[in-house]
Amino acid sequence: MSVVSAREPVGPIPQHHLSDDLLTAYAAGSLDEASSLFVASHLTLCPECRRRAAMMDEVGGVLLDDIAPVAMSAGALSAVLSRAEAPANDEPASMAGSRQTVFGADLPAPMRRYYGCDLDGIAWQRQGGGVSVATVPGIGDGSHAFMLKVEAGRAVPQHTHRGNELVMVLKGAYSDAAGRFGRGDVELADGDVDHQPKAEKGEDCICLAVTDAPLKFTGSLGWLLNVFVKM
Amino acid sequence: MRLLIQMGIIDVSSSMDYSGATAVAEPPPRNRVLSTECDSGLAVEKNGHKNRRPVRRPGKEMCRTIVLDAATPDDHKELMRRIAAAQDKAAFAALFGHFGPRVKAYLMRSGSTPESAEELAQEAMVMVWRKAESFDPAQASVSTWIFTIARNKRIDAYRRMNRPDLDENDPALVPDGPTAPDTAYAEGQVSTAIREAVATLPDEQAEMLKKAFFEDKAHSEIAAETGLPLGTVKSRLRLAIGRMRKQLKEFEE
Ligand SMILES: [Zn+2]
């Protein structure tokens, strides 16, 4: 029996997906917060990766079932039952700005929770060259994610990556040597790639980006852009 | 049998120091029998037992669980159903007996001291009781659901971060297409398929999978620790996952 949502599809199905490495680490809970945000945002937009993620969780369940048990302390069950029946007051506090009524949304909910608003409420910092950025606030573990907005028809200045850079399109589309990337599409750029994504005409292209090392811009605007991606 | 749990009589009100892993015994002549009598008046049976006798003993809160073999995912789901429907403590005790010691083992493997693993495992099991109603047997197996609770507890406690997760009610959610193969989940076939795949993995792949899931380490840290090249760590994981995916495909077709 297949569950068919009453909702109309709100967007195209992504063509470029998360890697198994990322999904495994997300299921295992060993991914940093910025990358976890990236994964959760893609899962919002991608039924196929939701199925893959469910499989990875199921792997965790099977391994848990299979692990050699370690006895709980004497009295553990009664302790748990008496705590379980006490009035619940230890639920984790929700994150600031997380409760909002949103009718239709551009940003996936995990991102709205961090920004406290949807795309129309974002305060962009202009960087010149048709590029603006908005850092994801409130990430607690020192990892870093930001949104990048490139004006319609413009190219991001040429840059190389010292670490890995994960990019996912949230609005609009861009193209580079690897193809076309639209809403929900993921691109992983590693240290060897020197690429120059170009936003499509007609609509600004907005992406979520996570880097594990600074980007290094190599083009003429590099000196300016290298300032804002210091992290 | 590995998962066999046989419980004697449990007095919910006083001497509940059932510690799980200690209470494994010989299989009874007919295992797969699940029979409990509780203070709630709920008496349940399985496999043809006809002695349904709701018993009320006001003032004396006895809860008897006679035989329990919660070996299959379906048995776990049945226990969850009872916990959600009737706050059935005997069912919870059975589930606790199976999963409490496993959650504790998982937390210890990921680096907790025995003391904090015990504490966190108890917290996780409190969540299992409180959130029982939100468990959806069509979405996942019980072991998976409990794994995700334990994992999120660990992330909260040790990494001191929130784990971003998708929101099923997000208006931005792109829904599953009408052809989504979700049948397998409802029938517990996914965990069966994955269980089989894990059981037949070459040791080096199985070990890498366990490391990736249980030890709170990035793949690069696993590489450094094991002395294996990062590429080898990743390829073993990919081979393991590929094998599971292949196994699943057979169920989906
Ligand atoms: Zn995807």
Least confident range from A169-173, A207-211, A217-221, B39-43: namely: B39-43
> If residue A53 lies in a helix (H) or strand (E), which one and from where to where?
helix A47-66
Binned at pLDDT 50, 70 and 90, residue B250 comes out as: confident
**Contact between A70 and B117 using a beta-carbon 8 Å cutoff:** yes
User: Does the pLDDT at position A224 exceed 60?
Assistant: no
Per-residue confidence (pLDDT) for residue A88, from 0 to 100: 66
Report how far residue B61's alpha carbon sits from residue B199's, in angstroms, rounded to the nearest whole number: 43
B127-166 pLDDT per residue, tens: 999 999 999 988 889 999 999 999 999 998 887 777 899 9
The mean pLDDT value for B39-48 works out to: 36
What are the structural domains of chain B? 2-162 (1.10.1740.10), 181-251 (1.10.10.10)
The mean pLDDT value for A41-50 works out to: 96
Partner residue opposite B175 with nearest CB, options A5, A27, A80:
A5
- The one-letter amino acid code at B73 reads P
Binned at pLDDT 50, 70 and 90, residue B181 comes out as: low
Per-residue confidence (pLDDT) for residue A19, from 0 to 100: 92
Provide the mean pLDDT of chain A. 82
- Rg of chain B, C-alpha, whole Å: 20
Per-residue confidence (pLDDT) for residue B180, from 0 to 100: 54
Order of strands across the sheet with A125-128?
A: A125-128, A131-135, A145-150, A205-211, A165-171, A186-189
Binned at pLDDT 50, 70 and 90, residue A12 comes out as: confident
Nearest to A172 by CA among A147, A148, A202: A202
The mean pLDDT value for A122-139 works out to: 92
Q: Who has greater pLDDT, A8 or B156? A: B156
Per-residue confidence (pLDDT) for residue B70, from 0 to 100: 47
A163-200 pLDDT per residue, tens: 678 999 999 999 988 899 999 999 987 766 667 789 99
Q: Distance, in angstroms, between A88 CA and closest chain B CA?
A: 8
Least confident range from A197-211, B28-42, B186-200: namely: B28-42
User: Does the pLDDT at position B36 exceed 50?
Assistant: no
What are the structural domains of chain A? 20-113 (1.10.10.1320), 118-228 (2.60.120.10)
Report how far residue B220's alpha carbon sits from residue B231's, in angstroms, rounded to the nearest whole number: 9
CA of B11 to the centre of ligand 1 (A): 50
- Rg of chain A, C-alpha, whole Å: 21
Q: Is B212 on the interface with A (CB under 8 A)?
A: yes
* Cα dist from A194 to A187, B74, B186, whole Å: 13, 52, 46
Q: Is B214 on the interface with A (CB under 8 A)?
A: yes
A65-97 pLDDT per residue, tens: 999 999 999 999 999 999 998 876 655 544 444
Report how far residue A55's alpha carbon sits from residue A220's, in angstroms, rounded to the nearest whole number: 46
Binned at pLDDT 50, 70 and 90, residue B195 comes out as: confident
* Chain A residue whose CA is closest to B95: A77
The mean pLDDT value for B225-250 works out to: 88
Per-residue confidence (pLDDT) for residue A107, from 0 to 100: 96
**Contact between B160 and A140 using a beta-carbon 8 Å cutoff:** yes
CA of B185 to the centre of ligand 1 (A): 19
Q: Is B135 on the interface with A (CB under 8 A)?
A: no
Q: Is B188 on the interface with A (CB under 8 A)?
A: no
User: Does the pLDDT at position A143 exceed 80?
Assistant: yes
Q: Is B163 on the interface with A (CB under 8 A)?
A: yes
CA of A179 to the centre of ligand 1 (A): 16
A114-130 pLDDT per residue, tens: 999 999 999 999 988 89
Per-residue confidence (pLDDT) for residue B176, from 0 to 100: 83
**Contact between A81 and B186 using a beta-carbon 8 Å cutoff:** no
User: Does the pLDDT at position B68 exceed 90?
Assistant: no
Q: Distance, in angstroms, between B221 CA and closest chain A CA?
A: 11
Per-residue confidence (pLDDT) for residue A11, from 0 to 100: 59
Neighbour count for residue B58 (Cβ, 10 Å)? 6
The mean pLDDT value for B105-122 works out to: 95
- Do residues B83 and B95 touch, judged by C-beta distance below 8 A? yes
Binned at pLDDT 50, 70 and 90, residue B58 comes out as: very low
Binned at pLDDT 50, 70 and 90, residue B11 comes out as: very low
User: Does the pLDDT at position B69 exceed 70?
Assistant: no
Per-residue confidence (pLDDT) for residue B243, from 0 to 100: 87
The mean pLDDT value for B187-193 works out to: 74
Q: Distance, in angstroms, between B3 CA and closest chain A CA?
A: 9
**Contact between A59 and B21 using a beta-carbon 8 Å cutoff:** no
Report how far residue B222's alpha carbon sits from residue B218's, in angstroms, rounded to the nearest whole number: 6
Angle at A37 between CA A34 and CA A39, to 5 degrees: 115
Cβ partners under 8 Å of residue B15, min gap 6: none
Q: Is A123 on the interface with B (CB under 8 A)?
A: no
* Chain B residue whose CA is closest to A104: B171
Longest alpha-carbon distance in chain A: 68
Least confident range from A210-219, B141-150, B196-205: namely: A210-219
